[in-house]
Amino acid sequence: MNSNLVTIVADVRPRQAYLAVVDFNGRFLAQMATPITSDPEQSVSKLGIAMRSLMDQHPEKTFEGAGVSLPGRVDPDTQRLILAPNLSWSGFDIKKVLQQKLKLQVEMDNDANACLLSELWFGRMDGVRNAVLVSLSEGLGTAILANGQLLSGKNGLAGEFGHIPLDPTGILCGCGLHGCWETFASSDAALRFYAELAPDARKVTIHDLLQLTEEGDKQAIQAISKQASFLGKGLRLITAAISPEVILITGALTTYWNRFGPIVENELRATMLAGTPPRLEIASGGELARLRGAAAIVLQRHSGYNRSTHPVRARA
C-alpha cells in the first residue's frame, strides 16, 4: 500500500494511553505516551491534544483517519463506550471530542477486537476462519472470529468471557459481579496473588513481577503460575462454547510463554470433551498489538471491509 497514507492511533488503558503514527503497511513512524485518569472529559481532551501534536510532526504524510483501542466494549452503531469496568468512562462521547480535536474520522473498538483485527491484517491468519483472541492486561478481553466473521453481537457485547464468574464467592470484579475469570487470569490478578504471597515485598508492575520469576523469586513464580493456571481453566469454557481452530494470547505473560505457556496448555487439555484442543499461539505484535490493531480498525473502514469475510491483508 501507499506508504504515504498513515493513521494516528491510540491504545487507551486505565492509567496511560500509548499513541503512534502507523502507515497502512503496519509500520510505526512515531510513538509517545500520555497519562490517563478516571475523568473522561479531561483525559480525552489531553489525549486529543497529544494525538494532534504527533500528527503535526509529520506534515508530509496524509492522515486517513484515527483509530482508538479501548479497554471496554464499544457499541458498533453509536460508537460509544458502553462497558469499561477498568476505565469508568462509560457513556462519554469519546469519538465526538476526538473528531473535534483531530478533524479526522475516528474509529473505535474494544482492545481485544483491535488485536484480532491486527492479526487478520498483518499477522498469520491465512486460512483460519474460527479463532479467539485473549488479551491480558489490567483486565481480560476476548474477541471472536466465527466462520470468517468478527463477531460483535447485540450492542457490541459478544465475547465478554472475562466477566463470566468462575467462583461466585470470589472477589468483587469491576463489572459488579464476583469471581469473574478476569479477577483470576488478568495481569492485575497476578499482582494481587503476589501481594498475598509476599505482603512485605515492594509494590511491583507486571513486568517487574515477570522479571522476578527469571531471578528465581518463589512467590513471583507461584503468582504467575496461578495466573497461567486460571487462564487455562477459562480457555476450557471458550473451547467448549466455540471450538475455535486457534486461540491467540496477547499480553505481558507471553513474554515468558516458554516457561508458563505449558501450564496454560495443560489446564486447557485437562477436560477436553472430545477431539484435539485448539492450537494455542502467541499473537504477533507484542506490546504494540493494540496500536497496530487500532490502525487496522481504520484500514478496515478505508478498504470497505464489513466483517463478513477475511479482509485482504496489507502487503509491504
Give the model confidence (pLDDT) of 232-248 as tens digits: 999 999 999 999 999 99
pLDDT at position 304, please? 58
More confident residue, 69 or 77: 69
Interior angle at CA 247, CA 243 and CA 251, nearest 5: 150
pLDDT band for position 73 (50/70/90)?
A: confident
pLDDT band for position 292 (50/70/90)?
A: very high
Query: 192-202 burial, b if ≥16 CB within 10 A, otherwise e?
Result: bbbbebbeeee
**Is 160 a residue whose pLDDT tops 50?**
yes
Average of per-residue pLDDT across 256-284: 89
The CA distance from 229 to 260, in Å, is 9
pLDDT at position 2, please? 66
pLDDT band for position 1 (50/70/90)?
A: low
The CA distance from 133 to 192, in Å, is 24
Query: Per the structure block, which three cell numbers stand in for 282?
Result: 502467541
Q: Which sign, positive or negative, has the C-alpha torsion 14, 19, 25, 28?
A: negative
pLDDT band for position 316 (50/70/90)?
A: very low
pLDDT digits (tens, 9 = 90+) for 82-103: 878 778 787 788 999 999 999 9
Query: Per the structure block, which three cell numbers stand in for 212?
Result: 522476578
Q: Which sign, positive or negative, has the C-alpha torsion 154, 155, 157, 158?
A: positive
Counting Cα atoms < 13 Å in the Cβ hemisphere of 53 gives: 11
Locate the domains of the chain by residue range.
5-116+287-303, 128-283
5-116+287-303 and 128-283, same CATH topology: yes
* Cβ atoms within 10 Å of 251's Cβ, excluding its own: 24
Average of per-residue pLDDT across 162-177: 93
User: Could you identify the residue written with the cell 505473560?
Assistant: 253
Which residues, listed in sequence order, are joined to residue 32 by a DSSP beta bridge? 19
pLDDT at position 229, please? 97
What Cα–Cα distance (Å) separates residue 87 from each residue in 28, 178, 201? 26, 18, 27
**Is 313 a residue whose pLDDT tops 60?**
no
Query: Per the structure block, which three cell numbers stand in for 296?
Result: 487496522
H-assigned helices in 152-280: 182-185, 187-197, 206-214, 218-242, 257-270
% the chain with pLDDT above 70: 95
pLDDT at position 308, please? 40
pLDDT band for position 315 (50/70/90)?
A: very low
**CATH T-level topology, domain 5-116+287-303:** Nucleotidyltransferase; domain 5 (3.30.420)
The CATH-assigned architecture of domain 128-283 is: 2-Layer Sandwich (3.30)
